[in-house]
Amino acid sequence: MADRHTTDISGIIENQKLTFFVTRLVLVSTLVTFFDGFDMNVISLVAPEVSAALHLDKLMMGNVFSAGLAGTMAGGFLFGYLGDRIGRRPSIILATISFGVLTLALASAGSYRELVTLRFFQGIGIGGLLPLAWALNIDYVPRGYQSTVVTLLMLGYALGDSFAGPLSIWFAPFGWQSVFIFGGCAALAVTVLLIFLLPESIKFLANKQKRPDLIARFARRLAPGRRFDASDRFVVSDELGRSGKAFRISALFRYELRWITPLLWTAYIAGSIAIFLRVSWGPTILQAIGFSRATAAYATSISSLGGALGGLLLMRFTDTRGVISIAVFPVLTVPLLLTMGLARIGGTPFLVMYFFLTMLIVGTHFGLHSIAGIFYPSGFRSNGAGWAASVAKIGSVAGPVIGGVVLSTRLPVRILFALFAVFPFVVGVGVFLLGLVQRRLLSRDATRRYAELGRAARLSEDSLSTLSSIRG
């Protein structure tokens, strides 16, 4: 045992070149998040048909939206635990199967109670998938690309949301149930790809001291040309001492995380209220303002693509300039919301403003997603990202309910935009403070690494002096 060669997984990941193995992982993960986004958001586009068929008023439909979001909250906790317990790979496959089956089941809902119940359990699988996908992909890429990769996964989610509009119109002649049948079958088909192509997290395996044969195989994929053997001792150098400890919620509030976790959660909750108000009620609000159903659906889809563009604009800034760069988007969102809510603007100019509003709100949400897991070590990264995403569902659940309440009053529909300007403001403040904390930590880490290099240099000089005296 003393002769076992020690291999540092962290070093392999940080020094890797772009390989087909990692590219395939990102592409497969993006494909599954596409159908995650489609199955989550398509119900808002068929809400008028569902409401008419099942005789639901706006408050009841708001409860249906919130039931799904409450399910995503439970899913984040449940699958975050499973991801760190049994592994990212089996948990992702289980989540995809569950929301695929339950999306199919939504097509058979015949009453308000059935719809709410099925929507809640569908949300569990949908909510569990994203944090697991973030954690798995973060475990395979260098630090300088972690936010970029998470943003690409969220791009898949946004594209799924975007395609929900055109597909809901295309499937309209076949009934509202047809979009759920399509979404469920597609998710189950993707599950087959996951079984054959999705790897387990190499850091998870190394931390748990499991399957050294798989670790060696994945290491060879990351560093072609190097020799790795199952008999090697694999370690994750930047997370030593963490692997054997069972996760406790208190771990999210230790050391520097006592500032990071509350700030992240606060920004996440406020951002979720803003985005899920738009996701759930956006098409309905546009129709209430005077746009046709087709225009509302296409505007929602095109705006979602704008949100993906916003996320892509942010991703490299987040990786290169830090978390604080995300604060730019909510700062721009506040005056835009106030203008849309208080000024008398309609027609094409309003749709253009709606596009940029969505780009900023969704882009901010992408940014929050991209940093949800990077602060937490691999040993409890699924739990860290899962808790952040699940706590954020407080806002996700509240947004549709509050929107339904406001829409049920005699207040002008437009006033909704002005009222919710407060939430991007909160996001901006939270992200700005989080960015300051991150900069302080990076400065401290750089100072520590410099000191360690100095000590290593002094030790080398001492060793050389000793060797010279021995030779003399």
pLDDT, one tens digit per residue, over 443-457 is 665 555 445 444 544
Paired strand residues for 94: none
At 144, the amino acid letter reads G
Structural domain contains residue 456: no
Q: What are the distances in angstroms from CA 99 to CA 92, 186, 285?
A: 11, 11, 28
Structural domain contains residue 303: yes
User: pLDDT band at residue 154, thresholds of 50, 70 and 90?
Assistant: confident
* b/e per residue 335-346 (b: at least 16 CB within 10 A): ebbeebbeeeee
Tokens standing for residue 397: 């659940």
For position 382, what pLDDT does the model report? 65
Burial label for 196, CB within 10 Å (0-12, 13-18, 19+), is exposed
- φ/ψ of 8, rounded to 5, equals -90, 110
- DSSP summary character for residue 17: P
Structural domain contains residue 469: no
Helix locations, 251-380, DSSP H: 257-289, 293-321, 328-342, 347-371
Sign of the C-alpha dihedral, residues 447, 453, 456, 457?
negative
* b/e per residue 211-248 (b: at least 16 CB within 10 A): bbeebbebbbbbbeeeebeeebebbbebbeeebeeebe
Structural domain contains residue 454: no
Q: How confident is the model over 130-148, as a mean pLDDT?
A: 84
Q: What are the distances in angstroms from CA 409 to CA 58, 110, 405, 416, 421?
A: 11, 28, 7, 11, 19
At 208, which helix (H) or strand (E)? helix 202-208
Cβ neighbours for 357, distance < 8 A, ≥ 6 positions apart:
278, 303, 333, 336, 337, 340, 417
Structural domain contains residue 434: yes
At 268, the amino acid letter reads Y
User: How much is the pTM?
Assistant: 0.69
Structural domain contains residue 471: no
Q: Which of 165, 180, 167, 172 is nearest to 45 (CA)?
A: 165
> Mean pLDDT across the chain, nearest whole number?
81
For residue range 417-471, list pLDDT tens digits in order.
Answer: 888 888 899 999 988 888 888 777 766 655 554 454 445 444 444 544 543 444 4
Number of CB atoms found within 10 A of residue 446's CB: 10
| Among the ranges given (149-163, 231-245, 308-322, 339-353), the one the predictor scored with the smallest mean pLDDT | 231-245
The count of structural domains within the chain is: 1
Tokens standing for residue 306: 């704008």
Q: Is 50 exceeded by the pLDDT of residue 472? A: no
Which CATH number characterizes residue 129's domain?
Answer: 1.20.1250.20
Radius of gyration of the chain (CA): 24
Which percentage of the chain shows pLDDT scores above 90?
19
Q: How confident is the model over 15-21, as a mean pLDDT?
A: 83
Q: Are the CB atoms for 224 and 162 separated by under 8 Å?
A: no
Domain holding 355, by residue range, is: 7-449
For residue range 51-83, list pLDDT tens digits in order.
Answer: 888 998 878 887 888 888 788 888 888 888 898
Rounded Cα distance between 117 and 272, Å, is 22
